[in-house]
Amino acid sequence: MRDRELDPLWRRFQARTRARIGLGRTGSALPTARLLEFQLAYAEARDAVLAAADFAAIAATLQPRASCRVRSLAPDRASYLRRPDLGRRARPDDLEALPDGPFDVVFVIADGLSARAVEAHAAAVLEILVPRLESWRIAPIVLAEQGRVALGDDIGAALHAQFAVVLIGERPGLSVPDSLGIYLTREPRVGRRDSERNCISNIHAHGLGIAAAADKLEWLMTQARHLRLTGIGLKEDAPAEVPSLAKPVDGESQPAEA
C-alpha cells in the first residue's frame, strides 16, 4: 500500500491522540514543519521548568482571599532541580510567620516543575472549589516558591491543619507544558509517604478540565473527612458527575486535629 493511501487512516488516529504519529517524511528526514513543531514543544517544556512563577499575579487573582508566601530550602532554580530534597522542606522563618491554626484545610500553590501550569489553572480551581467549603475552616492560601509536593506537609503541620491540598505544576511533556497536579494529605507532617496522599493529575486544556478537577477534589476532601483517611485506603471512585458534597455529612462537623 502506497503512503498516500494511508493518509486518511493516519488522520483518524491523529484526531484521537496528541502523540506524534503519522508525521510523514522528506527523504530520510522529518518534514520541516514537523521538526519545527517538535523543537517548539521542547522549548516550551524547558521554559515551563525553568521559569519563575508570578506569585504576585496569582495572589492578585486570589483576592479578596488572603494569601501568604513560603520559600523552600532551595536557594535558586538550579538547586531546586538538582536537589529535590531541598524543595520538600520550608524555611523555618517562613513557617514561623504563618498564621496560627488550627484549620481544617490549607491550600498550597507550589510552582513545582511548571510555573505555567500554576499560573494558568491553580487559582481557577480554587475559585470554583472554595465557595463550596462552607463548613471548613480554611487557612490563608500559601504560595510556595521552589516547592515539591511534600512541602505541604511542613506547611500543614505548622498551621495545625487537618488536611493539606497542594496544587503544583507537573513535569511537562512534549505535548503539554502546563499540566497541574493536586495532592490531598490528611494530618500533614514531615515524613508522610506518597501512599498516604491522593492525587488528581493531568489538569489542562486537553486533559481534565478545571471544573471537573474542582468536583473531583471536593468529592475526595468530603470522603477523606468522613472516613478520616487519605491515600491508598481512599478509593478514587467519584461518579462522572459529582454533586456538591462539601457540607458536613448528616450535619456533622469534624474538628481540626493538631
Q: How is residue 90 written as a grid cell?
A: 520550608
Residues 6+ apart with CB under 8 A from 129: 214, 217, 218
Residue 47, CA distances (Å) to 35, 40, 52, 116 in order: 18, 10, 9, 9
Whether residue 170 is contained in a domain is answered as yes
Whether residue 40 is contained in a domain is answered as no
What is the separation of C-alpha 52 from the centre of its chain, rounded to a whole number of angstroms? 16
pLDDT of 222 reads 95
Degrees to nearest 5, angle at CA 143 with 156 and 176 = 110
Whether residue 7 is contained in a domain is answered as no
Sheet holding 197-203, edge to edge: 67-71, 141-145, 103-110, 161-169, 180-186, 197-203
Whether residue 1 is contained in a domain is answered as no
Report the number of distinct structural domains present in the chain. 1
pLDDT of 15 reads 75
Whether residue 122 is contained in a domain is answered as yes
Q: Which domain range does residue 229 map to?
A: 50-250
Whether residue 255 is contained in a domain is answered as no
Dihedral class, residue 256 (left if φ above 0, else alpha if ψ from -120 to 50, else beta): beta
Whether residue 195 is contained in a domain is answered as yes
Residue with cell 519545527: 36
CA dihedral sign, ordered 167, 174, 45, 56: negative
pLDDT of 25 reads 75
pLDDT of 26 reads 77
Q: For residue 106, report the phi and psi dihedrals to the nearest 5 degrees.
A: -120, 130
pLDDT of 239 reads 57
Whether residue 154 is contained in a domain is answered as yes
Q: Which CATH number fits the domain that encloses residue 69?
A: 3.40.50.11240
Q: How is residue 173 written as a grid cell?
A: 511533556
End-to-end CA distance of the chain: 68
User: What pLDDT, in 10s, does the model give residues 87-143?
Assistant: 999 999 999 999 988 999 999 999 999 999 999 999 999 999 999 999 999 999 999
